[in-house]
Structure 1
């Protein structure tokens, strides 16, 4: 039939699924299409919020206050993706995270380009239904600081943790973590150094026994100092992640490991990975290729001969 609104005739679940791919600002605008669409956005289980889509933070704040006030509070927030200039110095941003936490959030992604001191709200680190957590910081200066909860992370069902950004001077000496089901970890070496996994019942130190996949980055500001101290730090991190089956190392780590071979420091250390099945070493940045030394390759493969070893270098390894 000519002029038939086929989209509006779709079941509510399909309409909500379509709207979940939109930023909440645009999802709310669909309420003007028809009576059928007026309340559709209030039922969305996924909230995508981006302060950069507003002319100012004050406009963003007003929008968020309106959205949370009129959203159907009986519906869970399964996913929250928040991109904001002033992520944790802004009261509205903290309110969004708290709201999502009270509605059984399972996947949370926070991205900030804040130019101010970062202090994360304590509530963020006790979202007990959280399964996926991504924190991403795009600092533009090495003088930026961020602070993560000293009281510990309590994530009993967390499976995936991704933290990307700069972390100089941003942690207490130890971060006590309860994440017994953590399977995938993507982080800089500094973060892993201070993670101290605890048994959820006895609060005693345990290993990251459930880890399947680990992706590690080394801070590019420190790679120029490939000292024995840096190598010791890295090897210490390796031993903490001993249960990983899939290991991906960035180019800076590959170079650092290669440099320590000259001092035989690494070769004197016991091989830390008991279950390794897959190893990828990044060897290319901006069309520059780094060749993985045979000694380094053998360090991993001799102890785990069945490991699948690959690099992103198109040239043969020598």
Structure 2
């Protein structure tokens, strides 16, 4: 037997070894590629012919197609060809663009939510606005939700209308544990000064990230969640000036971006372990003592009020490890130097 025959025999053995895996393991392997490529494996053998029909993972990407009608036809064939008794564990929709894609998105999501979807990741290009159906925000099975803008520049973060959600549309996701919003617009129907609680009915939420988001029509954002453990607020622009954060289980709080001098933070987080703040202006906190705080990293690019800086230090007096940028130290040092000068001049 020559070397070419040996290679063929080894390839067959490797194929058989992979084919002998349980369906669940094969599904997991195929989850790392798009559903289009997963379906192409059906030509390998009779063992692989219908494997894709029971996959709980659906990964759709616009990049796999050149024209919207072909993509729409493919989605219809996939959803109608699946084993209807198989639940949908996760759905990933990437690189969606164009106004007509809304219909396809809703078609996929309606199918997924009717099959008890647990994880949803949607990413679209900056120029596209996707209007999501109301049932997205009243799911009883969804545990992880990620909505992002892809290739989102700093200019687009400020000027793109991005995804738009109305405050009147209550987010009632009782089992949701992770929420990641990047490039999302949160807005209220009418101008109001009241504090809006978009996530108040997400009682099991543990991880919340608001990144490069835009707020419109309300001045206060309320984040009152009993199980929240990790909270990140980064580059949030727009109308919001006051943050009301009530989270008894919060461990890690990261805040960074172009916050104005008018921003106020009312924080009740007795279990807080780590605090990171990075902004242009002084951090103004209204809070109980952080008795459990171990690490605080405060960076203010343009500190203007020495009294605010000193008050912040008083509020962080229990911290074990404190990092301050040089500008804050210079402002505080200037105050002490002034006091010493006044004492010696008397």
C-alpha spacing 1:143/1:111, structure 2 compared with 1 (3 Å): closer
Match 1:157 to one of 171, 175, 178 = 175
Could you say what secondary structure the match of 2:281 adopts?
A: helix
Instruction: Give the number of the structure whose alpha-carbon radius of gyration is greater.
Output: 2
Is 1:49 equivalent to 2:55 in the alignment?
no
Q: Distance in 2 between matches of 1:63 and 1:208?
A: 41
Q: Distance in 2 between matches of 1:82 and 1:291?
A: 41
Q: Distance in 1 between matches of 2:244 and 2:294?
A: 15
Consecutive unaligned residues of structure 1, counting only runs of 5 or more, are 198-206, 223-228, 284-289
Match 2:72 to one of 56, 61, 73 = 61
**8 Å CA contact 1:176, 1:195 repeated in 2:** no
**8 Å CA contact 2:126, 2:160 repeated in 1:** no
Could you say which structure has the greater relative contact order, defined with CA pairs below 8 angstroms and 6 or more residues apart?
A: 1
Q: Distance in 2 between matches of 1:317 and 1:133?
A: 38
Aligned length: 283
Could you say what secondary structure the match of 2:116 adopts?
A: coil
What does 1:151-300 align with in structure 2 at a 5 Å threshold?
151-167=169-185, 170-172=187-189, 174=196, 175=198, 177-188=200-211, 207-219=224-236, 233=241, 236-240=242-246, 244-253=250-259, 254=277, 256=279, 259-260=281-282, 266=284, 269-271=286-288, 276=293, 279=296, 299=312
Is 1:129 equivalent to 2:141 in the alignment?
yes
Segment drifting more, 39-48 vs 297-306: 297-306
Is 1:76 equivalent to 2:87 in the alignment?
yes
Q: Distance in 1 between matches of 2:29 and 2:299?
A: 37
**8 Å CA contact 1:131, 1:158 repeated in 2:** yes
Consecutive unaligned residues of structure 2, counting only runs of 5 or more, are 1-8, 260-276, 330-346
What does 1:32-47 align with in structure 2 at a 5 Å threshold?
32-47=43-58
Instruction: Give deviations 1:123-147, integer Å, cap 9, x for gaps.
Output: 1111111111111124675253543
Larger strand percent: 2
RMSD across aligned C-alpha pairs, in angstroms? Answer: 3.7
TM-score by length of structure 2 reads 0.68
Segment drifting more, 56-65 vs 238-247: 238-247
Instruction: Give deviations 1:60-94, integer Å, cap 9, x for gaps.
Output: 11111110010111111111111122488521111
1:8 aligned residue: 19
TM-score by length of structure 1 reads 0.73
